[in-house]
Each structure stands twice: as structure tokens, then as C-alpha cells.
Amino acid sequence: MPILNEIRFDNLRGDLFGGVTAAIIALPMALAFGVASGAGPAAGLYGAVLVGLFAALFGGTPTLISEPTGPMTVVMTAIIANLIAANPEQGMAMAFTVVMLAGIFQMIFGALKLGHYVTMMPYTVISGFMTGIGVILIILQLGPFLGHATPPGGVIGTIEALPALIADIQPAETALAVFTFGLIVLFPKSLRRLLPPQLLALVLGTLVSVILLANADIRQIGEIPTGLPALQMPVFTALQWQLMVIDAAVLAVLGSIDALLTSVIAESMTRKEHSSNKELFGQGMGNLASGLFGGIPGAGATMGTVVNIQTGGRSALSGLTRALLLLVVVLWAAPLTSHIPLAVLAGIALKVGFDIIDWSFLRRAHRVSSKAAMIMYGVIALTVFVDLITAVALGVFVANVLTIERMVRLQSRSVKTIRHPDASDDLTRDEQTLLEQAKGRILVFALGGPLIFGVAKAISRQHAVLPDHEVLIMDFTEVPTLGVSSSLALEKMILEDLEERIPVFVVGADGEVMQRLQTLGLIDTLPADHVVSTRQAALEAATRLLESGPQANGAGNLPVGRVAAA
């Protein structure tokens, strides 16, 4: 596998145009997310440059655009607030260390080839936590939207301070924020490919504040230092190291999910397969570099990726072009952004919050499944009012328990006992004839589908009411996999019959199922001719055994246990 991402020069015009367009969109978003996170606009720009550059160089999705995103910003905001509250002097440096750790975690995920598993999460949980993140972003922007700094205390603090914020509303800044939000919402869709509404809102909002509201007290970004950012050395404290590691793991998992879901979108648009594990490595490199130079974390950005592809981007050259253009802004053009009003950035971030919310599923979740709707609403509430990792962990746990319960219910129907020819529609005519001749003395214990741990209960229940029989046939023909719990329940059934000198036949066991039975030692307890490939062969052998009368049957004697009353 090549180290670098796919960089081609046969689509030079398309890749350059895609990169330029993505950079134009990235500039206002990077500034808005930097301010929203609490790290400042410069940190947003550094994150956009470094995450985008390294992910484009070392990632596994050629057209993916990586930069600070709404979900990553929301988590970073909480991390910065918590660490500064715990350690005012070194809190910000510790927050950047968390970003570095998150990058290292992502690189480890890629090295362990976990890319395939990162996105194996129920849609209800993904929808719930994305919607919750959108709600958090909206709530946190209410302060700046109304002309104030974001109140301390996160979501709860903002909600509690909302009456005071409204009572002391700053009309000029709120008007700018409303103007920005309305312009983005009402901008014609037909023109969005020609001119990003976020950039237009940024420029017009700034001009309005400078020209028409020159006498008003409008809060602005202020001058961003030009030149390369200073290196941020990792900072740990004994009291906060555990919290930092947990925060880094949350950032890493969220960033991985965000990036790989966007990679799937890019793959569907370009019909070009991506490498999940390589992408995780590239994302990790980007976040590690961003943290080292004081940037906020990032991930694959859906908006930038889609625009990049729609405007011609086909290789990682587009992502490199975008990163280099933003680097020019950081090195030489940063002073031009000093007059941008914070209210304009709040309007842009507020619109991002509304876009993150999964409105489509919210409208119809209750019609799709009431249980799915409850999981989604629960994840939303936990995300907003508790924390993201609790929301995802509980959401996945509940969703998996419900899925397992449904699978077990379906699989339990395939666990059945057959003694008479009319007991199953799956029997061939020859098998029906053999069962009819046996007159109920042969018992076929039929199994089907993957026997996961939940099916063990159904097996034990059937075992408890097992009818009298003189020969037991265990039919594994339709079983592709055999879990530990189910195999132990079957082992108990087989060994009990063997102890009572009831012959046991094993049918159709191969591959993983045969390996499991051999590991348990069950195959070694049976005569070689009692392990057969077809149910008919087992019925024929069992019939011959019954007809032979009181002779050796492989276990040594005539079956004496569980003899039919007849």
C-alpha cells in the first residue's frame, strides 16, 4: 500500500478549481469554528491548514476535504472549558495536547485496521448524537448571536443565562447575526456552486459593520498574527491526565466516524473506493500536527468534500491546493480578517448547527420504529445534557440489545425437534419414510442460522422438554457459525444422551462449526461413522442401528435411556 494519497496531474484544472472553491468555503468556517471553540480564529485557521494538508497527503480518500467541523468543534469547546477551569494557566496548552493524543489514537486505529468497525454503529445512534451536537452548537451560539460572549457553564450555563442575555440584547450585533443567518438560508441554490453563501455573508457582514455601523460598538475578531504558528509542546498534569486521555479518545472516535462517513459519501459520488484504515492514519497525522501548532481538531467535512467533487476535484491534489491557499492567508493575509464581526461568525456557526441536525430522520423516526425513535431521542438528550461518550455508549448498548433480542427471537424459531414425518416441511420424501418407519424412536434436533449466545436459552428450553427417543440426530446443516454459549448448551445435551447410552449423530457440521465441536472434544466422543454430511445418511444409519437390536452401537451397548413408552 503506498504511503502517500493518490496525487495525479491528469485532471489539473479540475483539481485546482476544486481546491480553490473548497478553500473559499473553508475560510469563514475555520474562523467561525475557531472562535466558537474558545481557542480563537487563528487556531481555526491553523487547524484548517494542517489537518487538511496532512490528511490530503497521507489519507486514503483522494477527494476528501478535511478541516475543523461542527461536531469536533463542539467537543473541543467542552475540552477547553473544562481544562481551563481546572488549570487556568496551562488549560489551553493541555487542550492542544488532547488534540495531539487524539491524532495518535486515530493513527493507532488505522494501524490496528479498525476502520471497518468505526462506522458499524446503528443509524439511530449516529443520527441522535449528530443531532445532539447540532443542538449544542446552536445553544452555544445564542450568546454571540445576541451580542454577548458565550456564558460559562456550557449548555446548561447558556440556558440559565438566556433570560439575562435577551434582556441585555445588543441590537446592532444581533441584526448582523440575523442578516448573516438569513443570507445563507435564503441564498439561491442555483448560485451556490458559483459563490459560497458563507463567504458572501462574511464579506457583506463585515462591510455593513465597517460602513453602516461604524459608530456602533461591534465586537470584532481582532488582528490575527501572521507567520508560522508557535510549536506547542505537550503538557500533562497528574490531576488531569486521565480526563485528557478520555477526551482524546472521544475526539479520536468522533473524528474517525465523521471522516469515514464523509469518505463513504465521496466514494458514492466518485465511484472510487477509499481505504478506511489509511484514511484514519492520515486523519491522525493531521490532528497530531494541528495540536502541535495550536490548531483545533478536524475531520472529513461533508460540505467541502461535496463542493470539491462537484467542481472537478478527483485526486488529493485538490486538498493540497486548498491547504496551500489557506496557508497563504495565515502567512500574509491574516490582518485582512481583523474587522470581521463576531456576530457574523455566530450567524455562520448557527446555520452549521441547524445543518448538522438530522431533520429528515427526526420527522419520520416515529413512523419507522417507535423503539428507534426512543433510542434517537435518548441519545440526543444525553449528548446535550450529559456528554457524548455516555450518549454513544448507552445508545449503542441499547440498540444492540434490542437487535440481539430480535435476532434471538427469529433464530429460536429455527430450533426445533422432529420425530414424525409431518413435523417439518423441509424433509424430503425419503427422510419422511425413514422417520415413519422409526415410529418416533429417532429424534432430529434441527438447528438453523447463526447460533449466537442468545439462542442458548432456546436450546436449553428445548432440551428441558426433550421427548423420549432412542437415537438423537443433531442437524447442523443450516448453521454457519456456532457461538460459545450455544455450543456449551448443545454439548450438555449430547453428553447427557451419551451418558444414558443413547447414540448421537452429528450432521452437516463443517468449517467453523466443526472446528468448534472439535475444540470442545465432542467429535472425539462419537464413533467416526456417527459424523455424517447429510440428514438422510444419519437417518439411514440410525434406522439400521435400531433394526440391529441389542448389539454394539459405538458407545458399547444398546440404548437404554429415554426409551419411548411405546
Question: Does the residue 153 lie in any domain?
Answer: yes
- Which DSSP category does 150 fall into? P
Do residue 392 and residue 480 come from a single domain? no
Per-residue pLDDT for the chain (566 aa), expressed as one digit of tens each?
A: 578 888 989 989 899 989 998 998 899 999 999 999 999 999 999 999 999 999 999 999 999 999 999 999 999 999 999 999 988 989 999 999 999 999 999 999 999 999 888 767 788 988 898 899 899 999 999 999 999 988 888 899 999 999 999 999 999 999 999 999 999 999 998 888 778 888 899 999 999 998 988 888 889 888 787 777 888 888 888 888 888 999 999 999 999 998 998 998 898 888 888 899 999 999 999 999 999 999 999 999 988 998 899 888 999 999 999 999 999 988 888 787 888 999 999 999 999 999 989 999 998 888 888 888 999 999 999 989 988 778 888 988 898 888 878 877 777 777 888 888 887 777 888 888 998 888 889 999 888 888 877 777 778 877 777 788 899 999 998 888 888 888 898 899 899 999 999 999 999 998 889 999 999 888 989 999 999 999 999 999 999 988 886 544 444 433 444 443 33
Do residue 119 and residue 54 come from a single domain? yes
Query: Distance between CA 125 and CA 375 in Å, rounded?
Result: 7
Per the structure block, which three cell numbers stand in for 202? 462574511
Query: Distance between CA 174 and CA 180 in Å, rounded?
Result: 10
Question: Does the residue 334 lie in any domain?
Answer: yes
Question: Does the residue 380 lie in any domain?
Answer: yes
Do residue 84 and residue 200 come from a single domain? yes
Do residue 382 and residue 424 come from a single domain? no
Residue ranges making up the domain that contains 69: 12-219+227-403
Total domain count, the chain: 2
What pLDDT, on the 0 to 100 scale, is given for residue 547? Answer: 84
- Which DSSP category does 333 fall into? I
Question: Does the residue 541 lie in any domain?
Answer: yes
**Domain limit, last residue, from 363, 384, 403:** 403
Do residue 82 and residue 124 come from a single domain? yes
Do residue 246 and residue 321 come from a single domain? yes
- CATH number of the domain within which 496 lies: 3.30.750.24
Do residue 388 and residue 473 come from a single domain? no
Do residue 263 and residue 332 come from a single domain? yes
Question: Does the residue 552 lie in any domain?
Answer: no
116: buried, middle or exposed (CB in 10 Å: 19+, 13-18, 0-12)? exposed
Closest CA to 109 of 262, 241, 276, 272: 276
Question: Does the residue 151 lie in any domain?
Answer: yes
Segment (H or E) for 291: helix 276-292
- Reduced to 3 states (helix: H, G, I; strand: E, B; else coil), residue 477 is strand
What pLDDT, on the 0 to 100 scale, is given for residue 549? Answer: 63
Do residue 295 and residue 390 come from a single domain? yes
Per the structure block, which three cell numbers stand in for 310? 462537484
Question: Does the residue 3 lie in any domain?
Answer: no
Question: Does the residue 563 lie in any domain?
Answer: no
Do residue 497 and residue 389 come from a single domain? no
What pLDDT, on the 0 to 100 scale, is given for residue 223? Answer: 79
281: buried, middle or exposed (CB in 10 Å: 19+, 13-18, 0-12)? buried
> In Å, how far are 142, 270, 393, 552 from 563, measured between CA atoms?
78, 67, 51, 17
Do residue 383 and residue 436 come from a single domain? no
Do residue 393 and residue 420 come from a single domain? no
